[in-house]
Chain A
Amino acid sequence: MSIELTQPGCELLSAQPVVIKNVKNYFHIHTYGGLSPFFAGLREGKLLGTRCGNASCEEQRIFLPPRTHCPDCLSPSVWVEAPTVGEIYTHTEILYPGAGFKLTTPCPLISVSLEGVCTKMMSYLKEGQPRIGMKIKAVFNMEHPTHTILDLAWVPA
Chain B
Amino acid sequence: MIKLGPGNLRIPKFEKPVYIVAAGQTDFRKKYPEKTTEELCIEAFSMAALENDLKVSLSELKRMVNFCVYSQFADHFGDQLLAASKIHDALGFDPLGNIEVKTGGATGGHSVLAGALAVASGYANCVPVVGFERMDEVPTRQGNAYIASAACKNFESELGWMYTAYYALMAQRYQYEHKVPRETLAKIAVKNHGYAVSSPFSQNPMRITVEDVLENTLVSDPLSFLECCVMSTGAAVLILADEETAYTITDQPIRLTAICSGTHTLRTADRRPMEVLRLPHEPEDLYKNYQHDWPGFSSFLAARMAAYLAYHMAGIKNPVEDLDILETHDAFTISDIQTYEDIGLRPYGRGREFIDSGECYHGGKLPTNLSGGLIGSMHAVGATGIFQINEIFWQLQQKWAKFHADPRMWERYGKTKPADFENLQVKNARRGAAISHAGTGSHVTMAILEKV
The contact of B161 among A17, A65, A90, A98, by CB within 8 Å, is A98
Instruction: Return chain A residues, CB-CB under 8 Å to B220.
Output: 92-96, 109
Asked if B269 and A120 make an inter-chain contact with CB atoms under 8 angstroms apart, the answer reads: yes
| B270 contacts across to A, CB distance below 8 A | 63, 65, 119
A15-59 vs B, CB cutoff 8 Å, 1 = contact: the mask equals 001010010000000101001000000000000000000000011
| Chain A residues in the interface with B (C-beta under 8 A) | 14, 17, 19, 22, 30, 32, 35, 58-59, 63, 65, 89-102, 107, 109-111, 118-124, 132, 148-150
Q: Chain B 263-284, CB within 8 Å of chain A: the 1/0 string?
A: 0000111111000000000000
Q: Which residue of A lies closest to B155 (CB)?
A: A65
In this complex, what residue of B is CB-closest to A39? B154
**Among B59-67, B171-179, B197-205, the stretch in contact with A:** B171-179
A interface footprint on B331-347 (CB within 8 Å = 1, 0 otherwise): 00000000000000000
* In the complex, B16 has a CB within 8 A of chain A: no
* Stretch of B46-54, B95-103, B139-147, B362-370 with 4 or more beta carbons under 8 angstroms from chain A: B139-147
Cβ–Cβ contact A98 & B172, under 8 A: no
Of A90, A91, A94, which is in contact with the most chain B CB atoms at under 10 Å from its CB? A90
Q: A111-B297, A119-B270, A121-B155 are in contact. Are A93 and B170 (CB under 8 A)?
A: no
Q: Mark B66-81, 1 if CB is under 8 A from A, else 0.
A: 0000000000000100
Evaluate contact between A94 and B172: CB separation under 8 angstroms: no
With A65-B154, A89-B173, A89-B297: A95-B218 Cβ-Cβ less than 8 Å:
yes
**Contact present for A149 and B158 (CB under 8 Å):** yes
- Asked whether any CB of chain A lies closer than 8 Å to the CB of B148, the reply is yes
CB pair B219–A149 under 8 Å, yes or no, is no
Categorize the interface residue count of chain B. Answer: 35 or more
B269 touches A99 (CB 8 A): no
From the candidates B137, B147, B267, B272, name the one contacting A98 in the complex (CB within 8 A): B147
Residues of A within 8 A of B147 (CB): 98
Return chain A residues, CB-CB under 8 Å to B222. Answer: 92
Closest 10 pairs between A and B when the two form their complex, measured CB to CB: A98-B161, A98-B144, A92-B168, A90-B173, A98-B145, A99-B145, A65-B155, A99-B141, A93-B221, A98-B162
Shortest Cβ distance from A91 into B: residue: B172
B297 touches A98 (CB 8 A): no
- CB-CB under 8 A for A122 and B154, given A98-B161, A111-B268: no
Known: A32-B154, A92-B220, A121-B269. A109 touches B79 (CB 8 A): no
CA separation between A17 and B34, bound complex, in Å? 6
Please tell me if the beta carbons of B33 and A132 are within 8 angstroms of each other in the complex: no
Which of A92, A102, A107 gathers the greatest number of chain B CB atoms within 10 Å? A92
Q: Which residues 282-331 of B sit at the A interface, judged by CB distance below 8 A?
A: 297
The distance from the CB of B179 to the nearest CB of chain A, in whole angstroms, is 12
The answer to whether A149 and B172 have CB atoms under 8 Å apart is no
Check if A149 sits within 8 Å of B221, measured CB to CB.
no
CB of A27, distance to nearest CB on chain B (Å): 14
Query: Which A residues are CB-close (under 8 A) to B268?
Result: 111, 120, 122
Q: B1 near A: Cβ within 8 Å?
A: yes
Which of B147, B152, B153, B158 is the most central at the interface, judged by chain A CB atoms within 10 Å of its CB?
A: B158
Q: Are A122 and B1 in contact (CB under 8 A)?
A: no
A58 to B1, Cβ gap below 8 A?
yes
Determine the distance from Cα of A47 to Cα of B222 in the docked complex, in whole angstroms. Answer: 30
